[in-house]
Amino acid sequence: MNADVYRSQSGQRAVEQSYRELLQRWAVPLRHHCVATREGDTFVLDCGPTDAPPVVLLHGAGSNSAIWQADASRWSLTHRLYMVDLIGEPGLSAPSRPPLDSDAYALWLDDLLGKLGVEAAGFVGVSLGGWLATDYAIRRPGRVERLALRAPGGIGRQRYGAVLAALALMPFGEPGTRRALRIALGPGRIPDPVIDYMLLIQRNYRPRRDTLPVFCDEDLRDITAPLFVVLGARDRMLNSHDTAARLTRLQPAASINLLPDAGHGLLDDGAELYSFLNQGARP
């Protein structure tokens, strides 16, 4: 199902132009791909040695692969990174938003990995991307070698108080929207350039209205890939303590990191996650 991802064509052009400009500033050489899938064309960035272990990176809702700039500089030294613009989000992929409570996203990733020539890979997902990576690990256990999640959806309960508070500020122009974003992502210092870019997206983007399905205990227990999770203890979007408690019970071998002063916009330095990826790397 195609969706009106943007409020206007001019808004779409503004977001896409800013995104392309951000990509030009990356310190690592990037290869750009436009991959045909059953859900439409999917935009993928890749970097790192072509013979290195592959890792698929999935960003969150209302975002795109620009979020990986800092991580890519380090992780691409030892891994082939495939940074995927999610369909239906403000990147350069198709506007398709199939039902979340179906196998549509797993089939889309099947198409994508097949065209990229990737049989199996490590997966890193943020928020909505964390939900997608978890869903894929459940449905396609043989294709997910390691699973790293940052503030993943679909495990702990969703919180609505901060969202409602943020929505109340939205009518107050750019200052209100800026404050709303800091409420939703915080606490913690979110850099001004990040907020500026997210403001541009929020002015022009139509967010998803569907609720993320919550994974059942049986499905979470059946995940076979080694699991690493980073959570913000003060996340205002998702109940990170609930996420940690469920995973501790259902995946006792998982590495779960609850950062005391972080919110949904974690912005951790990625060093522990990189160490986790390297545990599965070939010598």
Both tokens of residue 84?
């995927």
Phi–psi pair at 37, nearest 5 degrees = -135, 175
Among 243, 32, 250, 258, smallest CA distance to 153 is for 243
For residue range 3-58, what is the model confidence (pLDDT) as tens digits?
Answer: 689 999 999 999 999 999 999 999 999 999 999 999 999 999 999 999 999 999 99
Among 196, 251, 241, smallest CA distance to 220 is for 251
> In the chain, where are the structural domains located?
9-279
- d(C-alpha 121, C-alpha 128), whole Å: 19
SS3 (DSSP) at 31: strand
Query: In the structure, what pLDDT confidence band is assigned to residue 207 with cuts at 50, 70 and 90?
Result: confident
CATH number of 9-279: 3.40.50.1820
For residue range 132-166, what is the model confidence (pLDDT) as tens digits?
Answer: 999 999 999 999 999 999 999 999 987 655 554 55
For residue range 45-99, what is the model confidence (pLDDT) as tens digits?
Answer: 999 999 999 999 999 999 999 999 989 999 999 999 999 999 999 999 999 999 9
Is-contact 146 82, C-beta < 8 A?
Answer: no
- d(C-alpha 224, C-alpha 255), whole Å: 14
pTM: 0.91
**Number of residues that make up the chain:** 283
- In the chain, what percentage of residues exceed pLDDT 70? 83
- d(C-alpha 236, C-alpha 159), whole Å: 6
| DSSP one-letter string for 194-216 | HHHHHHHHHHHB----SPPPPPP
For residue range 230-267, what is the model confidence (pLDDT) as tens digits?
Answer: 998 888 788 999 999 999 999 999 999 998 888 766 66
